[in-house]
């Protein structure tokens, strides 16, 4: 059977910042680590389920976890994952960045790849073995993705939703969370291309060879930047004048474009926030707007990262204002860092620090 991940049930939001929660997590885990090792070595991992769930739930109610083998099969590992959701993955990566060295333990911020031969999923009275799932790959070199046609003899007896669940469980197990996200493109279900197919068990090797031979390069969540050109839009919703944006959080960008005035708080209950700085366009010299904005971005990013309090996630230009986007981990202390840097850079009056989430916009800060 595949590894068991536990999703949390959302609870009342905590008052502590995510940075504070991460520090408390590592203090608690370090003290319990020897006992946890002994418990897992005694094959009583289930005894740790409630205690570990409580610890992870205090970080964020939406993160998931699993214990597994350590690096090079030495000791054990704890994985905390955002399960493919952008903002959760960024939280998990921050959690990992603060990890201390603990003897016998390896820590991961994403589900790791492993052999799937012999792993079986039992669902709806079916027993799905990966050697019975056949895949036909089609590389898309422009997108640097591999599209897959997937077939199993049980497809016609189960819902499409169940097919997706089965396939992604196996993909994450074979390629890891990041591997699936980076390299797998469109999925279709059918048997019209079986002549060019092979068992799912062999997919990991095929992906490795394809990526290596084609010299594809991709970044981890938060490290890869995408540039968007935006058509002018009607209305006066937040950032309505935006015409270009470079971002490491494309899911956040898409949510903003879709939701506009009704933007939800994607980080609700996590003690972290998406915020942005808004500066009047006249501050940016004509013809050197990007260079000037980059100076401000670099200063803010360096200050936040230096205090492990946040990170730059984007920057863009509008017809009336320039924008700089951040993920902050330490609440008001992170905002104070941003405010101090902006004052040192002599930004003009009317510069704003804004929240993306609609229900937090009243907390905006004017300089």
Does residue 233 sit in the same domain as residue 360? yes
The mean pLDDT of the chain is 92
Domain identity same for 210 and 230: no
Torsion angle of alpha carbons 174, 175, 181, 187, nearest 10°?
A: -50
Same-domain pairing of 102 and 132: no
- Beta strands 352-355 and 273-280 are antiparallel
| Token pair recorded at residue 254 | 């898409």
Question: In this structure, is residue 31 part of a structural domain?
Answer: yes
Give the Cα separation of 281 and 12 in Å (integer): 40
Q: What's the pLDDT score for residue 4?
A: 44
Sign, CA torsion 60/66/72/75: positive
Which pair of structure tokens corresponds to residue 201? 């068990």
pLDDT tens-digit profile of 290-311? 999 999 999 999 999 999 999 9
Distance, CA of 213 to CA of 215 (rounded, Å): 5
Kindly report the pTM of this predicted structure. 0.90
- Has residue 6 been placed in a domain? no
118-167 pLDDT per residue, tens: 888 888 788 899 899 999 999 999 999 999 999 999 998 889 999 999 99
Same domain, 192 and 317: no
Nearest to 23 by CA among 102, 99, 104, 107: 99
Quote the number of domains for the chain.
Answer: 3
**Predicted pLDDT at 10:** 42
How confident is the model at residue 251, as a pLDDT? 95
Of 57, 84, 108, the position where a domain reaches its end is 108
Q: Residue 358 belongs to a domain with what CATH number?
A: 3.30.70
Lowest mean pLDDT among 202-206, 231-235, 353-357: 231-235
- Say whether both 33 and 86 belong to one domain: yes
Nearest to 95 by CA among 196, 181, 27, 26: 26
Based on the fold, state whether residues 99 and 202 are members of the same structural domain: no
Average pLDDT over residues 312-329: 97
**CA distance linking residue 315 with residue 104, whole number of Å:** 41
Q: Are residues 242 and 307 in the same domain?
A: yes
List residues bridging with 279 in a β-sheet: 322
- Considering the domain architecture, whether residues 178 and 288 belong to the same structural domain is answered as no
Distances (CA, A) of 238 to 181, 256, 307, 350, 361: 30, 9, 29, 15, 10
Q: Are residues 129 and 70 in the same domain?
A: no
Shared domain check, 70 and 144: no
Helix (H, G, I), strand (E, B) or coil at 237: coil
Question: Does 71 fall in a domain?
Answer: yes
Give me the mean pLDDT over the 65-70 stretch.
94
Planar angle of CA 271, 272, 277, nearest 5 degrees: 140
Residues 195-205, mean pLDDT to the nearest whole number: 92
pLDDT tens by residue, 241-268: 999 999 999 999 999 999 988 999 999 9
Which range of residues forms the domain containing residue 207? 121-214
In a domain, 135, yes or no: yes
On whether both 98 and 158 belong to a single domain, the answer is no
Q: Both 204 and 241 in a single domain? A: no
């Amino acid at each position: 059977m595949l590894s068991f991940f536990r999703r949390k049930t959302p609870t009342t939001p905590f008052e502590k910042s995510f940075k504070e929660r991460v520090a408390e997590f590592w203090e608690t885990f370090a003290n319990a680590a020897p006992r946890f090792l002994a418990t897992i070595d005694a094959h009583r991992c289930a005894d740790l389920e409630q205690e570990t769930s409580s610890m992870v739930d205090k970080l964020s109610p939406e993160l998931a976890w699993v214990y597994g083998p350590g690096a090079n099969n030495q000791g054990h590992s704890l994985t905390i994952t955002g399960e493919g959701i952008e903002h959760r993955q960024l939280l998990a990566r921050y959690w990992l960045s603060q990890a201390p060295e603990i003897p016998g333990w390896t820590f991961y911020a994403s589900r790791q790849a492993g052999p799937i031969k012999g792993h079986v999923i039992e669902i709806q009275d079916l027993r799905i073995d990966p050697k019975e799932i056949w895949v036909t790959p089609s590389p898309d070199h422009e997108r640097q993705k591999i599209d897959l046609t997937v077939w199993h003899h049980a497809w016609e007896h189960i819902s499409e939703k169940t097919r997706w669940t089965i396939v992604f469980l196996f993909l994450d197990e074979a390629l890891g969370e990041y591997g699936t996200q980076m390299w797998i493109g469109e999925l279709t279900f059918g048997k019209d291309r079986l002549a060019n197919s092979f068992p799912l068990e062999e997919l990991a090797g095929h992906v490795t060879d394809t990526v290596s031979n084609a010299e594809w390069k991709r970044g981890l969540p938060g490290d890869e930047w995408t540039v968007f050109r935006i058509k002018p839009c009607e209305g006066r919703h937040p950032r309505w004048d935006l015409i270009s944006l470079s971002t490491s959080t494309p899911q956040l960008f898409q949510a903003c474009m879709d939701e506009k005035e009704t933007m939800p708080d994607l980080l609700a209950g996590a003690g972290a926030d998406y915020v942005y700085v808004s500066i009047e366009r006249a501050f940016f010299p004509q013809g050197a707007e990007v260079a000037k904005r980059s100076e401000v971005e670099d200063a803010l990013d360096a200050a936040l990262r230096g205090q492990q309090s946040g990170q730059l996630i984007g920057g863009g230009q509008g017809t009336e204002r320039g924008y700089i986007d951040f993920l902050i981990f330490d609440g008001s202390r992170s905002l104070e860092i941003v405010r101090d840097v902006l004052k040192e850079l002599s930004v003009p009056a009317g510069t704003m620090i804004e929240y993306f989430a609609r229900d937090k916009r009243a907390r905006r800060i004017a300089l």
